[in-house]
Amino acid sequence: MSNENGSGRQVALVTGGMRGIGFGICQSLAGMGFDIVTCGRRSSDEVSGVKLELEAHGHEVVYLQADLREDKTLLHLAGTIRDQFGRLDVLINNAGIAPPDRRDVLDATLPGFQEVMSVNCTAPHFLIQHAAPLMIEQRRRSPECTCCIVNITSVSAAVASVDRAEYCISKAALSMASMIWAVRLGEYGIPVYEIRPGITATDMTAGVRSKYDERIAQGLLVQPRWGMPEDVGRAVAALVRGDFSYSSGQIINVDGGLTLKIL
Ligand code: NAP
């Protein structure tokens, strides 16, 4: 099955793909030969250098400045993919935010909660609703096409931090959304997975670098190092390649053993 652009290459939509974990995922997928559509809050000029790095793999990279909190953005992303490529093989819901300020749950605010929920949970849930019909249609036309969806949640989906409750709740909710979509899309042969990264070196964790350096040195992790974006990129590659094709709905922890129970 070929692209609207005639290339025949597979197409991946990765939200927040121009930095951090999203960029690690895009590098993996570009290395596997995918055309990439990605988005973020920054302007095209601000991401042009990073985009060039991805384009060096020789495939098409489309960047849209888009705020995922807006419903029209989600429709625009799906519409762009339909018009420009005519196919969607992979959706990676990666974009996410930490709480605007860390506050004890007793002092946390409703606007802060709504902001985090809207980027981390509402947007990925409804992006799947808008993107899944493209995959369903594609698999009807060409049943040999493999498609999959991956939601990037966090160890925080299952580990309570009282100074960023809204983040933990948003990731736990997205974890349930992953399960719901895995069940709903099963009949179409579209697996849905969840990846839970642990403490990963990105801009999101830049402000807590020394705190976690210390905790890692004190034995917080079984594998005593920071997670890197490429650790998640490699896990995504295995899922997209079909190495876990009989495991829809499963959770992959990429956390250096942070969540292992140890006696
Ligand atoms: P990051 O470096 O802060 O990157 C976040 C990405 O999301 C950026 O590309 C950003 O766009 C995009 N984004 C944020 N809000 C957006 C919005 N409203 N509309 C469109 N795009 C938006 O974070 P990261 O550490 O790579 O995190 C990636 C994912 O992994 C997140 O879901 C995060 O919760 C999860 N995670 C991270 C860690 C960690 O330790 N870093 C651990 C577990 C899970 P711009 O580039 O334009 O700003």
Tens of pLDDT along 8-41? 899 999 999 999 999 999 999 999 999 999 999 9
Using CA positions, which residue lies closest to atom 33 of ligand 1?
96
Position in ligand 1 atom list of the atom nearest CA 200: 40
The total number of structural domains that make up the chain: 1
With residue 18 as reference, give the H or E element that holds it: none
Contact 70, 94 (CB under 8 A): no
Q: Tell how far the Cα of 15 is from the centroid of ligand 1, in angstroms.
A: 9
3-state secondary structure of 96: coil
260 lies in a domain?
no
Q: Tell how far the Cα of 2 is from the centroid of ligand 1, in angstroms.
A: 31
Q: Tell how far the Cα of 263 is from the centroid of ligand 1, in angstroms.
A: 33
What pLDDT does residue 179 have? 98
Whether 148 shows a pLDDT value over 90: the answer reads yes
3 lies in a domain?
no
- Could you list the residue range(s) of the whole structural domain that residue 93 is in? 11-254
Position in ligand 1 atom list of the atom nearest CA 46: 47
Position in ligand 1 atom list of the atom nearest CA 203: 2
Contact 200, 256 (CB under 8 A): no
4 lies in a domain?
no
116, 117, 139 from 69: Cα distances, Å: 10, 9, 29
Which of 171, 204, 255 should be mutated for ligand 1, with most atoms under 8 A from CB?
Answer: 204
| Interatomic CA distance for residues 217 and 253, integer angstroms | 21
> CATH no. for residue 133?
3.40.50.720
Whether 77 shows a pLDDT value over 70: the answer reads yes
Q: Tell how far the Cα of 203 is from the centroid of ligand 1, in angstroms.
A: 8
261 lies in a domain?
no
Contact 177, 121 (CB under 8 A): yes
Q: Tell how far the Cα of 239 is from the centroid of ligand 1, in angstroms.
A: 20
| Interatomic CA distance for residues 52 and 165, integer angstroms | 37
33 lies in a domain?
yes
What pLDDT does residue 150 have? 98
pTM (2 d.p.) = 0.97
Residues whose CB falls within 8 Å of the CB of residue 17, separated by 6 or more in sequence, listed in order: 23, 25, 26, 36, 38, 39, 40, 92, 94
Angle CA 4–81–135, to nearest 5: 90
Token pair listed for 36: 């990439």
pLDDT in tens, 159-168: 999 999 999 9
Q: Where are the alpha helices (DSSP H) in the chain?
A: 20-31, 48-55, 71-84, 110-117, 123-141, 165-185, 209-217, 229-241
pLDDT in tens, 36-75: 999 999 999 999 999 999 999 999 999 999 999 999 999 9
| Interatomic CA distance for residues 109 and 256, integer angstroms | 32
Q: Tell how far the Cα of 43 is from the centroid of ligand 1, in angstroms.
A: 16
Contact 14, 96 (CB under 8 A): no
- Measured in residues, the chain has a length of 263
What pLDDT does residue 8 have? 80
Question: Ligand 1 pocket: which residues have CB below 6 Å?
Answer: 16, 18-22, 39-42, 66-69, 94-97, 119, 152, 154, 197, 199-200, 202-205
34 lies in a domain?
yes
263 lies in a domain?
no
